[in-house]
Amino acid sequence: MVWAGFSSTGSQDAPAYCLVLEDYLLPYGPLVDEKYIFQQDNASIHNATYTREWFKQWQVNVMKWPARSDMNSTENI
């Protein structure tokens, strides 16, 4: 499953990003698979200390993502 968010009204910070994850990832991720692995690119809000601590608190397994990866499914959108 792929999910992406885009906005024409501005950018998002790490706390706002984590609120979105709390509303959508936490309830729906386990419905895909109990042992799902979350994938995200290396955007600054994805690698912020706040976000990393959030993942640790909620015990979300996050895939390590290589820098400058060619595996971005939304790159050409």
> How does pLDDT run across 9-55, given as a tens digit for each residue?
888 999 999 999 999 999 999 998 989 999 888 889 999 999 999 99
Q: Say which residue the tokens 């959108």 belong to.
A: 77
Inter-CA distances, 32 with 27, 64, 66, 68, 75, Å: 10, 20, 24, 28, 24
Domain ranges of the chain: 14-57
Q: How many CB atoms are closer than 10 A to CB 18?
A: 21
73 or 28: which leads in pLDDT: 28
